[in-house]
Each structure stands twice: as C-alpha cells, then as structure tokens.
Amino acid sequence: MSDDIHDHDEDRTILATLKALERGLDSLEPAARPGDAGETLARLYTETLGLIPFALDPVAPSAAVRERLMALATGDETQEMSRPAPAPPLPTAPTAPAAPTVQTVQTVQATPTVPRPGRAAVAGSTRTPFPPLPIPPRPRAARRWPLALAAGLVLALLGVSGKLYMDLRQQSGLLTVDATRIDQLERELAGERLRSAQISAARADVDSLRSHFAELEKMFSLVTSPTVEMSALRPTGQVDLAKEARGRLYIAEDHQHWYLSVEDLQPSGKGRQYELWFYGDQGPVSGGTFTAEPGQPVHLSSETMPLGTKAILITLEPASGVPAPSGPTVLRGMPPVKVL
C-alpha cells in the first residue's frame, strides 16, 4: 500500500470515491497503470466501500429467484422475471433442469475445499451459445428517459410556439398600430392638402387683393394728384342703355396714365360690347373693351394714351371686335379740366 501518500491527497481521494459512488458504477476509477495492480488509493477505498454490506445480516433468497435465474441462463425463457417473490412455482424446462444443478453446487460449497473468493486465478473456459437474458424492466432508468425526452420536446415545442405566438401577436399589434398611424397620417395629409389649397386660394385672393389694392392705390394716387385732369363723360342719347349713365376719365400729368370710371351703364346685350376710343392726331385708337353689369360700376385704366388725344368716345360695338368705331356712341368725353 502507499502509506507515504500525503493525507491531503488521501482525503481528496476518499471524497472523490464517494462522489463517484453517488454518480454510479461507471464513475469508479480503474487502476492508474497496469503495473499498479490496484494499489491506488482510489482502488483501496473502492474496495473498502465494497466491504461495508458484509456487516449486514445475510438474507437467504427464496428458491424461486434462483430457479428463474437459472432457467433463463440455461435457455428456458418461460420463467417470469418481473415479480420473483410472490410468484407460484414455475415449470422447469425438461431439457435444462435448474434445480439439480443448484443442489449440486450447494453441496460442494459445504466441503472444506472451498476457495477464498476474490483471490486471482485463471481457469479455462468454453463458449456455449446461450442467448442473452432479458433485463427486467427498471422503473426508473427504462421508463423515465423517454418520458423525460418527450417532456423536454413538448416543453421545447411549447416554448417555441409560445415565442412565435408572442412574436406574431407583437407583429400584429405593430401592424395594427401602423395601420392606425397610417390612417391618421392620411387624414392629417388630407387636412394639410385642404389647408394648403385654402392657403393657396387665400394667397391668390391676397395677391388679387394686393394687385387690386395696388391698382386702387395707383388710381387713388392718380385721382388725388394735384396735377390730375378730369374729363366728364355724358350720354349722347343715341342709345337707351346709357340714358342714366355717367363717367369720368382721370388723366395724369404725363398724359399717359389714365383711369376711367363709368356708373349706371346698362348691360350691352348678347353679341355686343362697349369699347373706349381715343381720338388723336392719327385717328381713333381703341383703349379697350368692356361689358357692364346692372348696378356695378365699370373701372378701366392704362399706362398709355395716344399722343395728341383730343376726344374720348365709348361706342357700342359687335363682340367680334372692330378696327374703328362703327356703332352708336354711348358716352362722349368733355374737354378735360383740372380737378384741384
């Protein structure tokens, strides 16, 4: 024995051997090297453990256990293996009687020539083609691992399914949220488009108003200018549409800018229009055409006036347009005078 081994190593070996005992038979350490011949501490303590049950009282097994075992070993597999003790005596195969063999061996055991069990020796042997014995079912090892495996698989499937279900629910929730968000955004976009259109329209109105205001401002500036001249327009009586009509033409100091305002002029009728004419050195020149609405004044202006304008007329003309006055004169301009 290895008495010189340090106690610490020995303690570790003992604890490791006990740990191996907890894990099962396959964890026991073999001899370290072929030459050790079992002299390792682990082997010594394994054998120590193996001796412990010899302190117990031996218990003689029932004959039925031996009979079933030997019947199976000699090829008679009709013996029951699952419950040895309470089973009634079972038939023995005629070709391989177990009981006589047992009796013979037991008789020999009582003789003084019994060897010391466990001491090494070698004996010859022959092979007999017996089939392996069926191992009785072990309730723990044989039945539990498939159940444990199945349970593990079921748990794994449940886990995966649950994860997928949760993912799908989450994705579905996200999609619902996204769809709701998209609807909201679409509504907001439609509102923005409407507001944009309204703003554009308002902006156009503002632009129009600004333009109109600018025009009015110019007209006001022209009309209120200290140098402005005004020519009053009076009906000629040639057309009933202008019996009550009257107008004023304001002419700037430069004799280019002008502003015309006509009130109470009746609509010209279908296919006809009113036209302003300037008579100057080169004959009549059109200052523009217009229509009239009941109760609405007419305003016209321009930044150009023919040079040498001496007379102003408004005539009723065909809507198709004419190069020179051809219809009746509606209003005639008086000689311009200083207003202020």
Partner 1 sequence: MDETSSQPGSLAALNDVTLVRQIADRQPEALSELYDRYAATLLGLARRILGTTADAEEVLQEVFVHVWNQGGRYDAGRSSVSTWLVLIARSRAIDRLRSRKVIERTHDAAQHEGPFEHTSPEGAENVFIQERRKRVRREMENLPAEQREVLELAFYQGLTQTQIASAADIPLGTVKTRTLLAMKKLRHALRDEIRELL
Residue numbers 15-74 binding partner 1 by CB under 8 A = 15, 18, 21-22, 24-25, 28-31, 34, 37-39, 43-62, 65-66, 68-70, 72-74
CB closer to partner 1, 121 vs 337: 121
CB of residue 6 vs partner 1: minimum separation in angstroms? 13
The reply on whether position 111 binds partner 1 by CB under 8 A is yes
CB closer to partner 1, 145 vs 165: 145
Coil/strand/helix, residue 332? strand
What is the chain's alpha carbon radius of gyration, rounded to the nearest angstrom? Answer: 65
Binders of partner 1 in range 143-202 (CB under 8 A): none
Residue from 335, 265, 252 nearest 295 by CA: 265
C-alpha–C-alpha distance, residues 71 and 61, integer Å: 16
CB closer to partner 1, 65 vs 166: 65
CB of residue 89 vs partner 1: minimum separation in angstroms? 15
Note whether 301 and 258 are within 8 A (CB): yes
CB closer to partner 1, 55 vs 337: 55
**Using CB under 8 A, which of the segments 134-142, 192-200, 237-245, 258-266 binds partner 1?**
134-142
# residues near partner 1 by CB under 8 A: 89
DSSP letter for each residue of 234-251: EE-SS-GGGSS-EEEEEE
Measured at the CA of 337, the angle between CA 331 and CA 338, to 5 degrees, comes to 140
The torsion angle over the Cα atoms of residues 313, 315, 319 and 325, rounded to 10 degrees, is -70
CB closer to partner 1, 25 vs 337: 25
CB closer to partner 1, 101 vs 286: 101
The reply on whether position 11 binds partner 1 by CB under 8 A is yes
Note whether 73 and 130 are within 8 A (CB): yes
CB of residue 81 vs partner 1: minimum separation in angstroms? 7
CA distances from 278 to 2, 268, 307, 316, 325 (A): 143, 20, 9, 15, 10
Binders of partner 1 in range 279-298 (CB under 8 A): none
CB closer to partner 1, 122 vs 337: 122
Binders of partner 1 in range 76-95 (CB under 8 A): 81-86
Judged by CB under 8 A, which of 4, 95, 110, 271 binds partner 1? 110
CB of residue 43 vs partner 1: minimum separation in angstroms? 7
Judged by CB under 8 A, which of 88, 94, 134, 323 binds partner 1? 134
CB closer to partner 1, 86 vs 323: 86
Judged by CB under 8 A, which of 35, 89, 94, 124 binds partner 1? 124
Distant-in-sequence, close-in-space partners of 37: CB < 8 Å, separation ≥ 6: 31
Handedness of CA 212, 213, 217, 218 (dihedral sign): negative
Binders of partner 1 in range 245-264 (CB under 8 A): none
> Strands 272-280 and 229-235: what pairing?
unpaired
Judged by CB under 8 A, which of 6, 35, 89, 109 binds partner 1? 109
CB of residue 48 vs partner 1: minimum separation in angstroms? 5
CA distances from 212 to 215, 257, 301 (A): 5, 17, 12
Distant-in-sequence, close-in-space partners of 285: CB < 8 Å, separation ≥ 6: 277, 278, 279, 306
